[in-house]
């Protein structure tokens, strides 16, 4: 089968400060992305706290393929294609669970936790080479699965760069998430939001570090929160939500003078934090956070606690499928479904050893920043839908991603940073990675022009 586009044609769709809109709308490009990006890169699938003991498993989807991620008997983490080696039925149907073997519902073949075939009913009359030892009778394992400080990534490709190289300096955002736990451990808790929109997967990552949009997109919730009287009854949850909405109202001058944006190889980036509210930022003075500081200092000492509190990041994007808020215990996983359909799953983390109330605040915060019924996120979803509608017109064929282009600067850790947070450098950086995956080049040509 020949690819829908030649390397030259693909290369021509990505210019230094603009990209062709076809990249967001063409089903053939989407199929190439599934095979060249999502089936090659390291992709986040879940957290080790979801599979603490041998036999614990959860199901996941990568490049639209159903997988089961399981803690095997020897404690290792395996990822299996969720397909019976007999006649193809999906073996594991639950989202998560615990088991000592996998059994197919069709003819009862059973599998060990690592995917090897265990037993076959009516095991007679098969050809000579049929045996439970034959690798062809196993649930097929994903070639590379590795976790970094509890975060599980996998690659559907048997070869490629190591996870360490892939993450590069962006590992510091994963470090930050873990280092914030007084006991040094995170736990996924508090349920999952699943939201969908009619739009391309790239739109989601492109919005998460977009410091120029809240003032417009979120003006209805900013105004409503600013007008809210504070002496009305709150059990604490609404207060967190309203404080967060008010923070979104920071003016351009703030984003341009106080907040930065940093990008790194492989499409990763993070936006500096913009919060100055004592109930939202652990570094500021609040009774719950004071208790948290005591717990941190007791376990980690004053110096380390101070170092952790000084790390101030908003969204960290790990291209192509994950975005996290290390400072706020949130994580989002992006699932491309079709060129114009995306599903996003969002998770909260509990910091082991932190006060109970802190996690309750994390849940309230999740409701406003990631909630399907949030007063904020619903306007972001509307934007993704509207970009899709806009791109279905015959308007401009090129998408402009040039804001801040002339003032990108090198970063000491091998990346590029914007002059300030309103730069679209993180989008340009994702398209460098896109080129790298889709064309096998490093994106160097684009950087030269820059």
Partner 1 sequence: MLDKTRKTPRLPSTAIDLRPYETFLIHEARLLDEGYFDDWLALFTEDARYWVPIQPNQADPFETVSLMYDDRRLLETRVRRLSDPRIYSQEPRSRTSRTVTNVTVEPDAGEPGVTVRSKFVLVEYRREDQRLFAGTYFHRLVGEGDAMRIAMKKVELVNCDAPLDGLVVPF
Is 429 among the residues that bind partner 1 (CB under 8 A)? no
φ and ψ at 123, to 5 degrees? -80, 70
Q: How many CA atoms lie within 13 A of 170 on its CB side?
A: 28
Query: Shortest distance, CB of residue 384 to ligand FES, whole angstroms?
Result: 38
Is 238 among the residues that bind partner 1 (CB under 8 A)? yes
Binding-site member from 86, 312, 403, 447 for ligand FES (CB under 6 A): 86
For partner 1, the closer CB: 25 or 385 = 385
DSSP string for 375-423: TTHHHHHHHHHHHHHHHTSSS-SEEE--TTGGG-EE-TTS-EE-SSTT-
- CB under 6 A: which stretch of 39-47, 79-87, 143-151, 406-414 binds ligand FES? 79-87
Query: Shortest distance, CB of residue 92 to Fe ion, whole angstroms?
Result: 35
Binding-site member from 34, 77, 89, 311 for ligand FES (CB under 6 A): 89
Binding-site member from 4, 27, 76, 87 for ligand FES (CB under 6 A): 87
What CA–CA distance (Å, rounded) separates 53 from 70? 9
What CA–CA distance (Å, rounded) separates 422 from 417? 11
Q: Do 319 and 339 form a contact (C-beta atoms < 8 A)?
A: no
- CB under 6 A: which stretch of 57-65, 100-108, 200-208, 301-309 binds ligand FES? 100-108
Is 249 among the residues that bind partner 1 (CB under 8 A)? no
What CA–CA distance (Å, rounded) separates 146 from 437? 20
What stretches of 41-138 show up as alpha helix (H) in DSSP?
Answer: none
Q: Do 340 and 200 form a contact (C-beta atoms < 8 A)?
A: yes
Cis peptide before 247 (omega within 30 of 0): no
Query: Shortest distance, CB of residue 94 to ligand FES, whole angstroms?
Result: 16
Binding-site member from 37, 45, 67, 104 for ligand FES (CB under 6 A): 104
Is 325 among the residues that bind partner 1 (CB under 8 A)? no
Q: Is 389 exposed, middle or buried (0-12, 13-18, 19+ CB in 10 A)?
A: exposed
Query: Shortest distance, CB of residue 62 to ligand FES, whole angstroms?
Result: 22
Binding-site member from 33, 380, 408, 432 for Fe ion (CB under 5 A): 380
For partner 1, the closer CB: 310 or 356 = 356
What stretches of 232-327 show up as alpha helix (H) in DSSP?
Answer: 237-247, 252-258, 287-310
For partner 1, the closer CB: 326 or 367 = 367
Binding-site member from 38, 109, 201, 264 for ligand FES (CB under 6 A): 109
Is 141 among the residues that bind partner 1 (CB under 8 A)? no
Q: Taking the chain, what is the end-to-end CA distance rounded to the nearest angstrom?
A: 36
What CA–CA distance (Å, rounded) separates 144 from 228? 51
For ligand FES, the closer CB: 109 or 319 = 109
Q: Do 280 and 244 form a contact (C-beta atoms < 8 A)?
A: yes
Q: Do 176 and 313 form a contact (C-beta atoms < 8 A)?
A: yes
Is 353 among the residues that bind partner 1 (CB under 8 A)? no
Is 60 among the residues that bind partner 1 (CB under 8 A)? no
Token pair listed for 102? 């996998």
Beta partners for residue 14, in sequence order:
19
Q: Using CB distances below 5 to 8 A depending on partner kind, what does residue 298 bind out of ligand FES, Fe ion, partner 1, none? A: none
Binding site for partner 1 (CB under 8 A): 189-198, 217, 219-221, 223-225, 227-230, 232-239, 241-242, 245, 343, 348, 359-360, 363-364, 366-367, 370-373, 375, 377-379, 381-383, 385-386
Binding site for ligand FES (CB under 6 A): 84, 86-89, 104, 106-109
């Amino acid at each position: 089968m020949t690819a829908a586009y030649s390397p030259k044609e693909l290369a021509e769709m990505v210019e230094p400060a603009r990209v062709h809109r076809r990249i967001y709308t063409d089903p053939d490009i989407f199929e190439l992305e599934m095979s060249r990006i999502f089936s090659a890169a390291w992709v986040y699938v879940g957290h080790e706290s979801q599979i603490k003991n041998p036999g614990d498993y959860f199901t996941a989807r990568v490049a639209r393929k159903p997988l089961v991620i399981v803690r095997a008997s020897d404690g290792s983490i395996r990822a299996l294609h969720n397909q019976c080696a007999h006649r193809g039925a999906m073996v594991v149907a639950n989202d998560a669970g615990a088991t000592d073997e996998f059994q197919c519902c069709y003819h009862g073949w059973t599998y060990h936790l690592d995917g090897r075939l265990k037993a076959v009913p009516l095991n007679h009359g098969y050809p000579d080479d049929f045996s439970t030892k034959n690798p062809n009778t196993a649930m097929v394992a994903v070639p590379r699965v590795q976790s970094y400080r509890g975060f599980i990534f996998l690659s559907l490709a048997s070869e490629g760069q190591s996870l360490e190289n892939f993450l590069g300096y962006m590992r510091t955002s994963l470090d930050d998430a873990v280092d914030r736990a007084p006991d040094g451990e995170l736990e996924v808790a508090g349920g999952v939001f699943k939201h969908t929109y009619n739009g391309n997967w790239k739109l989601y990552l492109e919005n998460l570090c977009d410091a120029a949009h809240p003032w417009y997109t979120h003006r209805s919730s900013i105004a409503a929160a600013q007008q809210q009287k504070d002496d009305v009854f709150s059990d604490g949850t609404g207060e967190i939500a309203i404080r967060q909405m008010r923070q979104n109202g920071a003016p351009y001058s703030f984003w341009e003078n106080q907040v930065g944006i940093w990008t790194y190889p492989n499409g990763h980036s993070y936006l500096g934090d913009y919060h100055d509210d004592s109930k939202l930022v652990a570094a500021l003075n609040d009774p719950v956070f004071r208790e948290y500081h005591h717990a941190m200092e007791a376990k980690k000492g004053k110096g380390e606690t101070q170092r952790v509190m000084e790390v101030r990041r908003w969204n960290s994007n790990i291209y192509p499928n994950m975005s996290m808020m290390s400072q706020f215990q949130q994580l989002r996983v992006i699932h491309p479904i079709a060129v114009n359909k995306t599903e996003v799953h969002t998770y909260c983390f509990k910091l082991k050893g932190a006060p109970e109330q802190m996690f309750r605040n994390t849940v309230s915060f999740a409701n406003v920043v990631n909630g399907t019924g949030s007063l904020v996120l619903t306007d972001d979803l509307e934007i993704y839908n509207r970009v899709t509608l806009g791109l279905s017109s015959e308007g401009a064929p090129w998408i402009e991603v040039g804001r801040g282009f002339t003032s990108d600067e090198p970063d000491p850790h091998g990346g590029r940073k914007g002059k300030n947070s309103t730069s679209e450098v993180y989008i340009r950086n994702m398209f460098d990675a896109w080129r790298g995956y889709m064309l096998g080049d490093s994106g160097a040509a684009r950087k030269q022009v820059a």
